């Protein structure tokens, strides 16, 4: 029995989501008493390998440095990983629940003729997992009967392990074959002054309490300071303060940032439906009774027109 984590990286940097997935792997390893290896598949990714070997709790870093996986093309990655899993008698393969992980994990599972379990938020035993369904409105406890478990791990559900204290050995793997089914053309990072709402690490949203569209500039200046995206409640959109692509909620965008700051938002259930999965929720509101305070991790009962400028200054 052994556990393999697939590292998320861009050939230069090991992505922090890997640390969360390793944390999940360690929870498994504690249950099963087995080792945890970390696979780095990429091209010219030596710096990633170095970072990977310092991730806490990793036994071996398995490295395949090949042109065929320079861009993580799943057509090339999946057969290689499926072989590796079988060769090394790996029982658990863990991916990050990122665009990359979700792209590859099912392809590996299908080649192994096993189910894949998506967005795991908790591990009960070596075959039993918790995962959200229905957009997080129902948590399913599922048990797999397959010998090999291919999982994607939701990073917000596991606190990342330390990425500097490990000392894993590095093991080189064979070359990855190009299946010649697909080719990489380009990649473009969306350039914008502010991160996109749905992928931002921090979101600051305004509601009807902002009173008008101009006042949203108060939010924007805070957002600029901390690299946050700016959102809004439906009430603010309906009142015409901002455009509806900024709407967070049941009928707007669903966000789950590390930090969500709700300013002048009452916290109607329709809004909560769009942000309740955020890791930390901050509410700034002058209405003591606002329902947003019932779900906020940190509540500041204050006038937002005083609090926002102060926030901008102090940050």
Partner 1 sequence: MQREQMEFDVVIVGAGPAGLSTACRLMQQANEAGKELSICVVEKGAEVGAHILSGAIIEPRALNELFPNWEELGAPLSVPVTEDQIYFLRDSEKSIKVSNIMTPKSMHNHGNYIASVGNLCRWLAEQAENLGVEIFPGFAADRIVYGEDGRVAGISTGDMGLDSEGKPKANYMAGMDLLAKYTIFSEGCRGHLGKELIAKFDLDDGVDPQHYGLGIKELWEIPNELHQPGLVLHGTGWPLSDSASTGGFFLYHTDNNQIVVGLITDLNYSNPHVSPYDEFQRMKHHPLISKYLSGGKRISYGARAIAKGGLNSLPKMTMPGALLLGCDAGTLNFSKIKGTHTAMKSGILAADVLFPELISQGNGGLDLVQYKEVFKQSWLHDELFKSRNFGAALHKYGTLVGGALNVIEQNIVSFPFTLHDTAPDYACLKPADECKSINYPKPDGLLSFDKPSSVFLSNTYHEEDQPCHLKLKDGDVPLSNNLPVFNEPAQRYCPAGVYEVLDDGNGAKRFQINSQNCVHCKTCDIKDPAQNITWTVPEGAGGPSYPNM
Partner 2 sequence: MKVLVAVKRVVDASVQVRVKADKTAVDLANVKMSMNPFCEIAVEEAIRLKESGIAEEVIVVSAGEDACQEQLRAGLALGADRAIHIQSDAELQPLAVAKLLHKVVDQENIGLVILGKQSIDGDNNQTGQMLAALAGMPQGTFASNVVIENGEAVVTREVDGGLQQIGLKLPAVVTTDLRLNEPRYASLPNIMKAKRKPVAQITAEELGVDVAPRLSTLEVNDPPARASGKRVGSVVELIDALKVEGVL
The one among 22, 78, 173, 223 contacting partner 2 by CB under 8 A: 78
Rounded distance between C-alpha atoms, residue 310 and residue 80, angstroms: 54
Can residue 116 be called a binding residue for partner 2 (CB under 8 A)?
yes
Per CB under 8 A, which region of 39-47, 96-104, 243-251, 276-284 contacts partner 1? 243-251
The one among 234, 248, 304, 307 contacting partner 1 by CB under 8 A: 234
Single out the residue of 98, 90, 135 nearest to residue 114, CA to CA.
90
Q: What are phi and psi of 42, to 5 degrees?
A: 180, -165
Identify what 21 binds: partner 1, partner 2, none; CB under 5 to 8 Å per kind: none
Task: Give, as ranges, the residues between 216 and 275 that touch partner 2 (CB under 8 A).
Answer: 226, 258-259
Can residue 50 be called a binding residue for partner 1 (CB under 8 A)?
no
Rounded distance between C-alpha atoms, residue 226 and residue 243, angstroms: 22
Structure tokens of 156? 């917000």
Minimum distance, C-beta of residue 52 to partner 1, in the bound complex (Å): 45
Q: Which burial class, exposed, middle or buried, applies to 186 when counting CB atoms under 10 A from its CB (0-12, 13-18, 19+)?
A: exposed
Per CB under 8 A, which region of 23-31, 32-40, 67-75, 84-92 contacts partner 2? 67-75
Per CB under 8 A, which region of 6-14, 78-86, 216-224, 232-240 contacts partner 1? 232-240
Total length of the chain = 315
Comparison of 163 and 170: residue with beta carbon closer to partner 2:
163
Counting residues that bind partner 2 (by CB under 8 A) gives 77
Per CB under 8 A, which region of 92-100, 163-171, 205-213, 234-242 contacts partner 2? 92-100
Counting residues that bind partner 1 (by CB under 8 A) gives 17
Instruction: Provide the angle, in degrees to the nearest 10, between the axes of the packed helices 74-87 and 99-111.
Output: 50
Alpha-carbon torsion (33, 157, 198, 311), positive or negative: negative
Structure tokens of 218? 């108060």
Comparison of 174 and 294: residue with beta carbon closer to partner 1:
294
Q: Residues 76-96, buried b or exposed e (16+ Cβ, 10 A)?
A: bbbbbbbbbbeeeebbbbbbb
The one among 86, 133, 174, 251 contacting partner 1 by CB under 8 A: 251
Minimum distance, C-beta of residue 224 to partner 1, in the bound complex (Å): 23
Can residue 300 be called a binding residue for partner 1 (CB under 8 A)?
no
The one among 226, 268, 295, 300 contacting partner 1 by CB under 8 A: 268
Which DSSP string corresponds to 64-109? EE-GGGTT--HHHHHHHHHHHHHHTT--EEEEESSHHHHHHHHHHH
Can residue 208 be called a binding residue for partner 1 (CB under 8 A)?
yes
Identify what 262 binds: partner 1, partner 2, none; CB under 5 to 8 Å per kind: none
Question: H/E element holding 95?
Answer: strand 92-96
End-to-end CA distance of the chain: 48
Contact by Cβ (8 Å): 21, 36: no
Q: Interface residues with partner 1 (CB under 8 A)?
A: 208, 211-212, 215, 234-235, 238-239, 244, 250-251, 268-270, 273, 289, 291
């Amino acid at each position: 029995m052994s556990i393999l984590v697939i590292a998320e990286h861009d050939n230069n940097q090991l992505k922090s989501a890997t640390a969360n997935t390793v944390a999940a792997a360690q929870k498994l390893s504690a249950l099963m008493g087995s080792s945890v290896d970390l696979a780095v598949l990429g091209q010219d990714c030596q710096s990633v390998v170095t970072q990977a070997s310092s991730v806490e709790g990793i036994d071996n870093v398995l490295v395949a440095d090949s042109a065929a996986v320079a861009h993580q093309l799943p057509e090339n990655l999946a057969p290689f990983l499926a072989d590796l899993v079988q060769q090394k008698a790996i029982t658990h393969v863990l991916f990050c629940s990122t665009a990359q992980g979700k792209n590859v994990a099912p392809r590996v599972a299908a080649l192994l003729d096993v189910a894949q379990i998506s967005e795991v938020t908790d591990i009960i035993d070596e075959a039993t997992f918790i995962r959200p369904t229905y957009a997080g409105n129902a948590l399913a406890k599922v048990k797999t009967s397959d010998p090999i478990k291919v999982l994607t791990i939701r990073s917000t559900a596991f606190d990342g392990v330390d990425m500097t204290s490990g000392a894993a050995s590095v093991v080189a793997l064979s070359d990855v074959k190009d299946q010649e089914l697909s080719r990489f053309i380009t990649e473009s990072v969306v350039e914008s002054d502010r991160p996109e709402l749905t992928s931002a690490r921090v979101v600051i949203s305004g509601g009807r309490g902002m009173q008008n569209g101009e006042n949203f500039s108060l939010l924007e200046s805070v957002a600029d300071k901390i690299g946050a995206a700016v959102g809004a409640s439906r009430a603010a959109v309906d009142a015409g303060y901002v455009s509806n692509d900024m709407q967070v909620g049941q009928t707007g965008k669903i966000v789950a940032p590390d930090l969500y700051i709700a300013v002048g938002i009452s916290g109607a259930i329709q809004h909560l439906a769009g942000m309740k999965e955020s890791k930390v929720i901050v509410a700034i509101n002058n209405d003591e009774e606002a329902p947003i305070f019932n779900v906020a991790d940190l509540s500041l009962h204050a006038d937002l027109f005083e609090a926002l400028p102060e926030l901008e200054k102090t940050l």
